[in-house]
Amino acid sequence: MTGFARVAGSEDWGSWVWEARSVNGKSLDLRLNLPSGLDAVEAFIRKSAPEHFARGSLQISLKIDLAVTDGALKVNMEALKALTDAYQDIDGTLVTGPALASLMTIKGVIETDASSTRDLTENKVAIEQLSGTGAELLKALAASRAKEGAALADILTAQLSEIETYVAQAVTFAAEQRNTIATRYTTRLKELDTEGVVSDERLAAEIAIIASKADVVEELDRLHAHIETGRDFLAADGAIGRNLGFLAQELNREANTLCAKSASLGLTNASLAIKSVIDQFKEQAANVE
């Protein structure tokens, strides 16, 4: 199920923005993109996510802008001494003026006290604030997905009603199955049995056997039952995506059998219409958690 959420916050130590995106998935796949040094926050999000979601691919990111500090510079005397000693060993003179200035530009000689996200590791208040707004993000994403879920429920309910309409048509055509088979079989037999070798009793027996094999009452009854089960699923709480997917398979199984047993164009067309809507139902069901 798709969804999007964004939560922002700010404190004396800096500002931050959480963003989360969700797309369809057979299981819960959580992908986090957090700044380094925030292992505690990441662990909290991973632990909390299953409380809100059962399925879906979730991408969650956190961006932090730390408050500007003085960023005082300091000289790494140990690194500078190593460089000056090496210079003197090579050149044989003391390091002064431009030569010293050049050594000061080498990476690692001049350091800054500017803070980084790693410094937040020891800031319990900041960790709690980030975790708290992370929890708000998960709730907001769940609400976004629930809104889409409500829209999907309306679509799936309408599709079940459409299937039910075609099943009602199939019931009407199915009631004529025996007569259709009898008429077709009798006509064909007259064309082939011009001498009247086959008795009426034998003809009636053969028609009964064929009509029995073509009987679709059970398939229609199961389709009705599956439709009611689908409505029960949609009215229930919790994750129902897997149940709806399985239901679509069962609906399709009965529709295939109905089509295979059809003895009339009307029943065949009704069966194909049922299959078409079931395919749409299955596609939408794949979007449901």
Radius of gyration, CA atoms only, the chain:
37
Q: Which CATH number fits domain 3-68+119-144: 2.60.120, 2.30.230, 3.30.70, 3.30.230?
A: 3.30.230
CA distance 196 to 183: 17
CB 240 within 8 A of CB 288: yes
Burial of residue 230 (number of CB atoms within 10 Å: 0-12, 13-18, 19+): buried
pLDDT for residue 122 = 80
pLDDT at 112: 54
In a 3-state reduction of DSSP, which class is residue 154? helix
Torsion of CA 254, 256, 260, 265, to 10 degrees: 100
Cβ neighbourhood burial of 61 (10 Å; 0-12, 13-18, 19+): middle
Q: State the pLDDT at residue 135.
A: 96
d(CA 182, CA 177): 9
State how beta strands 73-75 and 3-11 pair.
unpaired
* pLDDT of res. 275: 95
Contact 163, 276 (CB under 8 A): no
pLDDT in single tens digits along all 289 residues of the chain: 789 999 999 998 889 999 999 988 878 899 999 998 899 999 999 999 999 998 889 999 999 988 765 555 667 788 778 888 887 878 777 777 777 778 777 877 765 555 566 678 888 999 999 999 999 999 999 999 989 888 999 999 999 999 999 999 999 988 887 777 767 766 676 666 666 666 667 667 766 666 667 778 889 999 999 999 999 999 988 778 889 999 999 999 999 999 888 888 889 999 999 999 999 999 888 888 7
pLDDT at 212: 65
Q: Which amino acid, one-letter code, is at 170?
A: A
96 within 8 A of 58, measured Cβ to Cβ: no
Residue 145's nearest CA partner among 241, 238, 23, 231 is 23
What are the residues whose beta carbons fall under 8 Å from the beta carbon of 276, sequence distance 6 or more? none
Check residue 157 and give its pLDDT: 95
Sketch the domain layout of the chain as residue ranges: 3-68+119-144, 73-112, 149-285
Under a CB-based contact definition with an 8 Å cutoff, are residues 154 and 261 in contact? no
Decide if 44 contacts 138 (C-beta within 8 A).
no
Cβ(29)–Cβ(56) below 8 Å: yes
Provide the token pair at 48.
Answer: 């909390």
Say if CB 184 and CB 267 are below 8 A apart: no
Task: Give dist(CA 194, CA 203) in Å, integer.
Answer: 14
* C-beta separation of 267 from 174 below 8 A: yes
Q: Read off the pTM.
A: 0.63
What pLDDT does residue 190 have?
A: 65
